[in-house]
Amino acid sequence: MQLSTNHLLGIKDLLPKDISLILSTAAQFKEVLQRPVKKVPSLRDVTIVNLFYESSTRTRISFELAEKRLGADTINFTASGSSVSKGETLLDTVNNILSMKVDMVVMRHSASGAPHFLAKHIDAAIVNAGDGINEHPTQALLDAFSITEKLGTLEGKKIVLIGDIMHSRVALSNIYLLKKMGAEVMVAGPPTLIPTYIKEALDVQVEYNLEKALQWCDVANVLRIQLERQNQILFSSLREYNIAYGVTKTILDKIDK
């Protein structure tokens, strides 16, 4: 048994059976956290560097925890306070780190395609922790795991992604994964935040009315407005956005779900 890929650059490259294997292994690993010793020695011989060029709380901490619980040695690298401020390029930084016998790189970068670029130039295995507005594969896998825990399966389930679809790498990874695993996908939000041809390109439904979207779905995945990635004014104000697209108790009570 093998995964179909050496790296985890995006859900786009994964097969449904890879996703099933990852999710079922995760389900078994969850039990380890109930034991007195919450660690296994599987990755004892592996050194992993967490290369985070963008800020992150949850992703960084959960990667580090996962690596340590699997027994690996971890190195954490953030761009600020490193030689990047002296003008060192990405490739130089990574090659320096690799010369110290690091087996794997977990990378978050603001440029889409950065991990793919690295994968072409270096030998180590690469995990994409988020690249620009492209993909965030581990987030999609985590969301799929949560859904599967609650609903049992993804096949035939109706999932709506609500919010800034255009700039969201989480949305794209989720769409790829949910379609691969047989779910029905809808995207909802203001027209300015939904790419024009997304229906044809990715075969998802599009809905501009929040209430209709919430009525239709089994699961609603609500996204954060990616203000830091928008270079133009795409909606009138955060408050107006919230009124129209904020998932609040009022609207949840109204649709009785």
Partner 1 sequence: MKIILDKQQLHLTIKRLSHQLTENHVNLQDVIFIGLQPRGLQVSKLIVDHIRTIYAGENVQYGVLDITFYRDDVRYELHKASKTDIPFSVQDKKVILIDDVLYTGRTIRAALDALQDFGRPKKVELCVLVDRRFNRELPIQPDFYGIAIDTLTSQKVKVEWDKEEVILY
> Can you tell me which of 11, 19, 23, 43 binds partner 1, judged by CB under 8 A?
43
**Collapsed DSSP state (helix, strand, coil) of residue 152:** coil
37 sits near partner 1 (criterion: CB under 8 A): yes
Residue 39 C-beta: closest distance to partner 1, Å: 7
For residues 2 and 23, what is the distance between their CA atoms, to the nearest angstrom? Answer: 15
Residue ranges of alpha helices (H) inside the chain are 16-32, 58-69, 90-98, 114-121, 137-151, 169-180, 198-202, 210-216, 238-245, 249-255
4 vs 232, beta carbon nearer partner 1: 4
Residue 140 C-beta: closest distance to partner 1, Å: 21
Answer whether 179's CB lies under 8 Å from 185's CB.
Answer: yes
21 vs 247, beta carbon nearer partner 1: 21
> Can you tell me which of 2, 231, 232, 250 binds partner 1, judged by CB under 8 A?
2
> Can you tell me which of 15, 40, 61, 201 binds partner 1, judged by CB under 8 A?
40
Structure tokens at 155: 């096949």
35 vs 86, beta carbon nearer partner 1: 35
41 sits near partner 1 (criterion: CB under 8 A): yes
Give the sheet arrangement for strand 184-188, strand by strand: 205-207, 184-188, 158-162, 219-222
| Cα distance from N-terminal residue to C-terminal residue, the chain | 41
Give Cα separations from 219 to 1, 104, 174 (angstroms). 32, 34, 12
65 sits near partner 1 (criterion: CB under 8 A): no
44 vs 121, beta carbon nearer partner 1: 44
36 sits near partner 1 (criterion: CB under 8 A): yes
Number of shown-chain residues binding partner 1 (CB under 8 A): 20
Residue 7's CB is within 10 A of a number of other CB atoms, namely 18
6 sits near partner 1 (criterion: CB under 8 A): no
> Can you tell me which of 12, 39, 150, 224 binds partner 1, judged by CB under 8 A?
39
Structure tokens at 174: 């989720």
32 vs 244, beta carbon nearer partner 1: 32
- Residues contributing to the site for partner 1 (CB under 8 A): 1-3, 21, 24-25, 28-29, 31-32, 35-37, 39-43, 45, 70
